[in-house]
Structure formats: structure tokens, C-alpha cells
Structure 1
Amino acid sequence: MDISIEKSDGRESEQWVVSAGSLTLCFRDQRSAMEFSSKLKERVESPHSLPVIESEAFAQVEKLSCVS
């Protein structure tokens, strides 16, 4: 996932915009934007395990019929 930080001069004060995919968040200062983007990147890149589905769940699905 691409995470970017851009400075945006607003009408009243500067803002820092963090974009990640379709997510866009505004921050009042560069430090807050950097801290957020750093933490987001850390979480996105951390190892994730896939959930384990019990075999009984598959057995129940096999019994269902989609015939009308």
C-alpha cells in the first residue's frame, strides 16, 4: 500500500494530508501526519496470519444446495 504525505495550504492554516489507498486524512502539523503514517505503515507491513476455518464449517456448506 502506498502511503503519501503532502502539505496543503488551507484558507486558515496549513494542513498535512496523509493518503493511503482510498483513505485521506488531514492533520494540523507535519509531526502528527508523520507519526500516523509511520504507525499505519508498520501495521500494514506486519505479518498477518489467515484465520483457520474449522472443517465442520465446510461440511455444513457442502450440505447446502443452490438448486431452485
Structure 2
Amino acid sequence: MTYEYDMYQSRQEGRAEGIAEGKIEGKTEATLEMVDAMLANPKWTDEDIASISGLPLEEIQKRRTLLAK
């Protein structure tokens, strides 16, 4: 293998890792936006939100406290 090919492979691997990380970050951001919207609606209990979002109940309660400030 040549140096150029190795560099190309490294860039491709780095790009793929960056895309994967971006997708995870985007999903996390979307989940938190959904949670914040649900917290603004008194119809949803913290337990409901935790169940739907997949986040721990403690995280939901922490976000509720932060949003109340």
C-alpha cells in the first residue's frame, strides 16, 4: 500500500466516524427538544416522558427543574 492510499483510508474512516457522531448528536438534540415540549404540557407525567423518550426519570426531573427557572 502506498502512503497516499493510507491517507485516503484514514480520511474516509474519520469522515465515517464524524457522520456517525453527528447522527447521534442530532438524535440526542431532537429527543431533548421533544422532552422539553412534553414538559411544557401538563398532560404528560415525568414517568410518561421518561418511558417515551428513553431517558432516565432523574434526567426528566432535572430538565423540569431547569425549565422552571
TM-score under structure 1 length normalisation: 0.31
- Larger helix proportion of the pair: 2
TM-score under structure 2 length normalisation: 0.31
- Larger strand proportion of the pair: 1
